Amino acid sequence: MTDTGTGTGTGRGTWVDQALREHEEHAAPEHAGPQPAAASDREQQVLDRIDKARRRRPKVREERITMSHGAGGKATRTLVEAVFLDAFSNPLLDPLEDSAQLHVNGGRVALTTDSYVVSPLFFPGGDIGDLAVNGTVNDLAVSGATPLYLSAGFILEEGFPVTDLIEIVTSMKAAAQVAGVQVVTGDTKVVQRGKADGCYINTAGVGVIEHDMSLGVANAQPGDAVIVSGPIGDHGVTIMLARGELDIEADITSDTAALNGLIADLLAATPGVRALRDATRGGVATILNEVATAAQVGVLVNEDAIPVRTVVRGASELLGIDPMYVACEGRMVVVVDGGEADKALAALRSHPLGADAAIIGSITAEPPGMVLLKTAFGGSRIVDLLVGDPLPRIC
Amino acid sequence: MRFVDEFRSADKAHALAAKIAGLCEPGRQYKLMEVCGGHTHTIYKHGLEDYLPEQITLVHGPGCPVCVIPMGRVDDAIALASHPDTIMTSFGDMMRVPGSQGSFFDAKAQGTDIRMVYSPLDSLKIARQNPDKRVVFMAIGFETTTPSTAMTVLRAAAEKLDNFSIFCNHVTIIPAMKAILDSPDLRLDGFIGPGHVSTVIGCRPYEFVARDYGKPVVVAGFEPLDILQSIYMLMVQLSEGRSEVENQYTRVVPWDGNLAALTAINQVLELRPYFEWRGLGFISHSAMRVRPEYAKFDAELLFEVPGVRVADPKACQCGEVLKGVLKPWECKVFGTACTPETPIGTCMVSPEGACAAYYNFGRMNRRRVVEVSIS
């Protein structure tokens, strides 16, 4: 079929035509059913067809980068898979874990990198400096590594106050001390006024993996428990309010923190941990979807059990966003053997950063690849990957 | 959390659900339309359908502000925003609505200055801060948002802010409901009335639905228990053979509406002879434009806009979904060619759109999922 039927006569082409063409190619046989089936069967057929469509190789349809490509949701994943993974694919990169695990002289080393563009640079509870240290430390720690060394690259805008830079670097130093890491190499670039927004930081980190546990979201199994290490969404809501665009004032600070101490305690307490992920951009919902997709399991979450501060809930209600998608910078999701869940929870709660940890759900066999939420109201729904970007430049 | 949790009590929901089930006549099917997209969103977000007997089907209505904006108006807005020294401001919902050459987000990525605002008044702030630019607010929505647009124009007039204007796309709900009632495709038993619209227009404008069409209307709030209670109230009317307008959302909706808001609208805006609704076509006296007295705030007069009517892609069945004739998943491109990530139709864009709500929250085999969550 060559007529894609857009019928606009305005020369529109691009992805709409392409999407419709692909749809015709893939969907034609299923439409040709001779008998109209019962509504529930037809709905199931549609669900199956969508499932198939979602498994197809992702394509970036936009002609230009939009803010959604940086939001950590669906568009980010599409960009990563269709552009970066397509070019760089290798066994170390392909699992798309928070850090790569390298084998060096018989030992295991973890390597990660992250860039920080948060706006504003200073916010209650932290600044871009400690964020840049903690974020990279956490990406190493959730891979089960002991973080050791960081690099720090600065992109500075002409005219940026030196006192601000010193304040940022001072908090990086303090955060590095707390996390027990050293900044051992760096880089500085300056761009003309207007070509950047004050200060951007990139950090890379190296750590060693000193145990033989294998952590990864693909390891999740039916019967496992899902834990979050504390109240979710504090960082995202703090940043949003710190921007001052909403005229809402609330007593809340970012949760930015290095999680390596908490993780060390957890891994020492139980051998049952299957996966750890820090819930940054895209929030807890995104992590749970990564678990469901990677392990082809269902994730069943109880909305009532998810710890969310009243301030965060209130702000989210007002703004029409779901705290499950709001970024944290010092919280993680833990998938642990169901039999070890209580032990894991106790270990987390005995550390100050995990005092409010809670079991929020479990891994199920059905339906594979999906996150289901039992709502506080008593109904059920799915929790999908985030589309669009409610909060740009959160970290 | 106060003022929220009491409207989401699972215990109360169970009790109401039992009463609703008790009112169903054996063998009778009930089709109730929630007019407002905000209700659609609540229904899916809280999994409210789990509480309803299979005899009751909720049909999603046209009350989604961005869903009804036709492609041509999106193109016009982008053309407007592309003028030199122009800043367009828009609600976030509108940013991803596709025009024939892409959405506001795409235009923004190409360098057009389009900024998201949470309130139309924020546009005035931007206008004050940028006296050498022209700031245009993309005004959309039903009567819920129309008063704030009108107030913004009044404020701009009082401040003599000459670099501010609005691109008015405000629509009115009653003509759309009438179009649906007159449509031969659909047999509805009753309406869950739009709560926020009714805070402005009150409950009287729905009386023709009960009187002339014999269908009950219950104006409803937006928490899940509000909606469940409205369904109960509709079922009581149906079981007693009544068709009346009732107000469930009494804590917010006055029976006669908000006179101050209506006055502000009337001062600044007037009805257009006709307006194109996406999927529903041209509906007479269904939208607002700026009155001649406030012409200098009317972007349609200040700027050259193409004003070209652009047909939807043939494969897109948003119109049928907006009228409630098709369920979201019955659209041929639902979830395959048309997804929230790359929407073809508007119903897939807004969180209030039926397709987006179904795709993001309800894309599951409800019966099987209920089994999993109980086990």
Question: pLDDT (tens digit, 9 = 90+) per residue, A256-310?
Answer: 999 999 999 999 999 999 999 999 988 999 999 999 999 999 999 999 999 999 9
* Subunit contact A6:B314, Cβ cutoff 8 A: yes
Q: Chain B: give the shortest CA distance to residue A342, in Å.
A: 21
- Tell me the per-residue pLDDT of B55-108, one tens digit each, with 9 for 90 and over: 999 999 988 888 899 999 999 999 999 999 999 999 988 988 889 888 998 899
Q: Which two tokens stand for residue A188?
A: 């500085």
Distance CA B288, CA B270 (A): 5
pLDDT at A247: 74
Q: Give the per-residue pLDDT at B279.
A: 79
Q: How many CB pairs under 8 A join A and B?
A: 181
Look at strands B288-290 and B269-271 and give their pairing. antiparallel
Q: Which chain B residues contact residue A63 at CB under 8 A?
A: 106
Strand partners, A202: A115, A153
Give this prediction's pTM.
0.88
Q: Which residues have C-beta within 8 Å of that of residue A121, sequence separation ≥ 6?
A: A127, A128, A164, A168, A198, A199
Distance, CA of A33 to CA of B18 (rounded, Å): 39
Other C-beta atoms lying within 10 Å of the C-beta of residue A201: 26
Only one residue has tokens 């059920």, namely A380
Lowest mean pLDDT among A9-18, A123-132, A365-374, B215-224: A9-18
**Among candidates A23, A65, A245 on the partner chain, residue whose Cβ is nearest the Cβ of B337:** A23
* CB distance B324 to A327 below 8 Å: no
Distance CA B349, CA A213 (A): 43
Q: Nearest to residue B81, comparing CAs of B315, B303, B334? A: B303
Please, are residues B136 and B168 in contact by the beta-carbon 8 Å criterion? Answer: no
Q: Which tokens belong to B303?
A: 């700027």
Distance (Å, whole) CA A298 – CA A364:
5
* Lowest mean pLDDT, pick from A43-47, A125-129, B109-113, B164-168: A43-47
Pairing of strands A126-127, A122-123: antiparallel
Q: What is the mean pLDDT of residues B11-25?
A: 96
* B94-104 pLDDT tens trace: 988 889 888 99
**pLDDT tens column, B262-285:** 999 999 999 999 999 987 889 999
The ipTM value here is 0.86
- Chain A residues with CB under 8 Å of B110 CB are 64
Collapsed DSSP state (helix, strand, coil) of residue A310: helix
Residue located via tokens 């999106």: B74
A2-6, B33-37, B143-147, B277-281, range with the lowest pLDDT: A2-6
| Minimum CA–CA partner of A73 in chain B | B341
Q: How far is CA B74 from CA A118, A259, B144, B269, B366, in A?
A: 31, 46, 21, 21, 36
Interface with B, mutate which of A380, A383, A384, A393 (most B CBs under 10 A): A380
Contacts 24+ apart (CB under 8 A), A98-103: A98/A138, A98/A139, A98/A140, A98/A142, A98/A143, A98/A277, A98/A278, A99/A139, A99/A140, A99/A143, A99/A145, A99/A205, A99/A207, A101/A143, A101/A209
Least confident of A164-173, A351-360, B55-64, B251-260: B55-64
- Residue A381 has its nearest CB partner, among B5, B313, B362, at B362
**Chain A residues whose beta carbon lies within 8 Å of the beta carbon of residue B44:** 381
Nearest to B295 by CA among B130, B148, B156, B94: B156
Q: Say whether pLDDT at B368 is over 90.
A: no
Interface test with A, best of B4, B46, B368 (most A CBs within 10 A): B46
pLDDT value at residue A159: 97
The partner residue sitting opposite B313, judged by closest CB among A6, A78, A246, is A6
- CA nearest to A15, candidates B339, B301, B281: B339
Average pLDDT, chain B: 93
Of A26-40, A87-101, A239-253, B261-275, the one with minimum mean pLDDT is A26-40
* pLDDT averaged over every residue in chain A: 89
Measured between beta carbons, the chain B residues lying within 8 angstroms of A390 are 92
Residue contact B8–A10, C-beta within 8 A: no
Determine what percent of chain B is predicted with pLDDT higher than 90. Answer: 74
Which of the residue ranges A37-51, A173-187, A290-304, B96-110 would you say has the lowest mean pLDDT?
A37-51
B326 to chain A, closest Cα gap in Å: 12
pLDDT digits (tens, 9 = 90+) for A6-28: 333 333 455 667 767 776 766 55
Q: Is A218 helix (H, G, I), strand (E, B) or coil?
A: helix
Alpha-carbon distances, residue A292 vs A12, A362, B47, B96, B189 (angstroms): 37, 11, 20, 27, 40
- Cα separation, A24 vs B39, whole angstroms: 33
Asked if residue A5 has pLDDT above 50, the reply is no
Look up tokens 């999908």; give the residue. A384
By residue count, chain B amounts to 375
Distance from CA of A88 to the nearest CA of B (A): 24
